[in-house]
Amino acid sequence: MGVPSLGCACRVCRSTDPHDHRTRPSVVLSYSGRNVVIDTTPDFRLQALREGINRLDAVIYTHGHADHILGLDDIRPFNLKQNCAVPIYASADTQTILRRTFAYIFDETPTESSVPGVDMRVIDGPFDLFGAKIIPVPARHGNLSVFGFRMGRAAYLTDFSTVPQESKQMLRGLDHLILDALRDTPHPMHSNVEQSLELVRELEPRQAWFTHICHDLSHAETNARLPENVRLAYDGLRFEVELG
């Protein structure tokens, strides 16, 4: 829901620490002069402005929930600037949701309005993207099937409740693991802090970053009680990863 949460006056929502100001979760991979975004959140436009994203070469979706897709309409300026459709990578299920939610994009009726230009591509296994290998990592998000993604020695795994054994094998030997940790109390759709710490102990990434954090967790106070190799991610966080 983002932090501050609308209408909430809890201490994290009122915090003056900029790290406690959280837009919806997304990452951009920048390499070989390309920008690849994972998920277009309702905050996509402001995130892209904040990070100075001046071109968009592909979008990859983890799943079709509103907080991960609703910014899709805001790719239009990149369509115009680059004069081409943007490749969209998503599972067949997520594509169904995109086609329903953004029916006007897929409507063949001619229109005077500009609509996002998309080139839909189904994810059905690892794929090459501008010279990098993107490996989808299946996970469960409540009763929904979702994808995490491994890119070289980094992986992004937002929105999950459990990770199947075969997927854990795909998450070994990581330098950076970004993973869901919504809050301390259990949630049927999301991994909580304790469950994610357990997964980090099992997978042993060099560095783990918690994401999809709600207003229950104060940035500074939570970091103070986490192991050294586990930190809360925050808006604007940047680091280098080995893609090869």
Q: Are strands 34-38 and 27-31 parallel, antiparallel or unpaired?
A: antiparallel
User: Which of 19, 215 has the CB closer to Zn ion?
Assistant: 215
Nearer to Zn ion, 110 or 188 (CB): 188
Name residue, tokens 């594509």.
95
Shortest gap between Cβ of 68 and Zn ion (angstroms)?
6
Positions touching Zn ion (CB under 5 A) are 5, 8, 10, 13, 65, 67, 159, 215
Nearest distance from residue 5's CB to Zn ion, in Å?
Answer: 5
Choice between 78 and 156, CB closer to Zn ion: 156
Q: Are 139 and 157 in contact (CB under 8 A)?
A: yes
Of the pair 10, 84, the CB lying nearest Zn ion is at 10
- CA-CA-CA-CA dihedral for 50, 68, 225, 219, to nearest 10: 30
Distances (CA, A) of 212 to 67, 148, 183, 215: 10, 13, 9, 10
Q: Kindly state the smallest distance separating residue 202's Cβ from Zn ion, in Å.
A: 23
Nearest to Zn ion of 26, 152 (CB atom):
26
> Residue 132, Cβ neighbours under 10 Å: how many?
16
Residue 10 beta carbon to Zn ion: minimum distance, rounded to whole angstroms: 3
Q: Which of 95, 22, 87, 31 is closest to 62 using CA atoms?
A: 95
The residue among 141 and 176 lying less far from Zn ion, judged by its C-beta, is: 141
Query: Residue 177 Cβ, how far from Zn ion at the closest point, in Å?
Result: 17
Smallest gap from Cβ 190 to Zn ion, in A, equals: 8
**Which phi-psi region, left, alpha or beta, contains residue 51 (left: φ > 0; alpha: ψ -120 to 50)?**
alpha
Q: Over the range 89-127, which residues count as b (16 or more CB within 10 Å of their CB) and which as e?
A: bbbeebbebbeeebeebeeeeeeeeeebbbeeeebeeee
